[in-house]
Chains A and B, each alone.
Chain A
Amino acid sequence: MTDKESKEIQVKPKHELTSPAEQTRPGLIFTPNVDIFETETEITLLADMPGVSANNLTIDLRDNVLTLTGEVDPFEEANEEDILIEYEIGKYHRQFNLSSVIDQSKIDAKLSDGVLRLSLPKVEEATPRKIEVKTG
């Protein structure tokens, strides 16, 4: 986005999460790529989670820790044989510490084309306010 629009996308291998909490089920875990940006009223998080459907996605927010977990169903049918495998699939998992206080009742999550858009509105008290200094 910084330079010209016609920039070519470079191959970026998926990042495997190396030591999450101890696992009870086998399988690979990847960290999704995210964009996080903040305005005065809300924090928005965009995460690339290809292959995750809405009912396989868990978003959890407690004690200011936001956890995203997405399960991906295996893509292959049983009778298919691999010819070329360049990427592997697995669970997506990522945690964030949120500094501002989030209004939990107004959180909004949308998943379209494998991209999660999560809006986290700040509570009224946390939005910055200009303090007027009185004289006298």
Chain B
Amino acid sequence: MLYRRFFNVPDWGFSKSFREFDRLRRQMDELFGAVSGGTLAMPSAGVFPLINVTEDTNNYHIRAELPGIKSNELDIQVTTDGISISGERKIPVEGNNVRYHRREREAGTFSRSISLPGEIDVNKVEASMVNGVLTVTIPKSEAAKPRQITVK
């Protein structure tokens, strides 16, 4: 398996095998009833928002769950080898006479930068927000695209 390296994510490259391992461990935990608070131990950089990065032949796709954040409240900056996402999540105050039963949703600022494994085309980056999920599509630069070589 060919794997590349993200320098800002410590356990990058092993994420796939770790993911399998995590799933197995979770299943074991369930079997023995020793679930550690029901949280997932995914490999992550520990910075909000959590992201998923995938690639196809022409693009990288970055996805993040950002519920309640409008597209114009996001600041996305792109450089030749990376991208940064920052913004603020605001939760408006709901009147004076309200009594809370649960308060689990959090407000605050966030900022995250991601370096991509290959060169990208800065001018054609597209971002969209659908149902609180941010998708950034980043075309790979011509030099970074895989090329099929025919053997003569």
Interface set of A (CB-CB < 8 Å, partner B): 1, 5-18, 33-40, 44, 46, 48-53, 75-77, 79-88, 111, 113-115
A-B contact pairs, 16 of them (CB 8 A): A6-B108, A16-B40, A35-B91, A38-B101, A44-B94, A48-B68, A50-B66, A50-B131, A77-B56, A84-B9, A86-B50, A87-B44, A88-B40, A113-B129, A114-B66, A115-B132
Residues of B within 8 A of A12 (CB): 48, 106
Most buried by A among B15, B65, B131: B131
Interface set of B (CB-CB < 8 Å, partner A): 4, 6, 9, 12, 15-16, 19, 26, 30, 35, 38-57, 60-61, 63, 65-70, 89, 91, 93-95, 97-111, 117, 129, 131-133, 135
**Please, how many angstroms separate the alpha-carbon atoms of A131 and B66 in the complex?**
47
CB-based contact B6/A84 at 8 Å:
yes
The one of B35, B110, B132 in contact with A9, judged by C-beta atoms closer than 8 angstroms, is B110
Residues of A within 8 A of B19 (CB): 85
CB-based contact A87/B68 at 8 Å:
no
Closest to B19 in A: A85
Rounded to whole Å, the gap between the CB of A134 and the closest CB of chain B is: 29
CB-based contact B108/A18 at 8 Å:
no
The one of B46, B55, B95, B100 in contact with A35, judged by C-beta atoms closer than 8 angstroms, is B100
Residues of A within 8 A of B16 (CB): 82, 85
CB-based contact B50/A83 at 8 Å:
no
CB-based contact B40/A11 at 8 Å:
no
CB-based contact B129/A35 at 8 Å:
no
CB-based contact A85/B100 at 8 Å:
no
Closest to B135 in A: A75
Residues of B within 8 A of A10 (CB): 48, 106
**Please, how many angstroms separate the alpha-carbon atoms of A50 and B105 in the complex?**
13
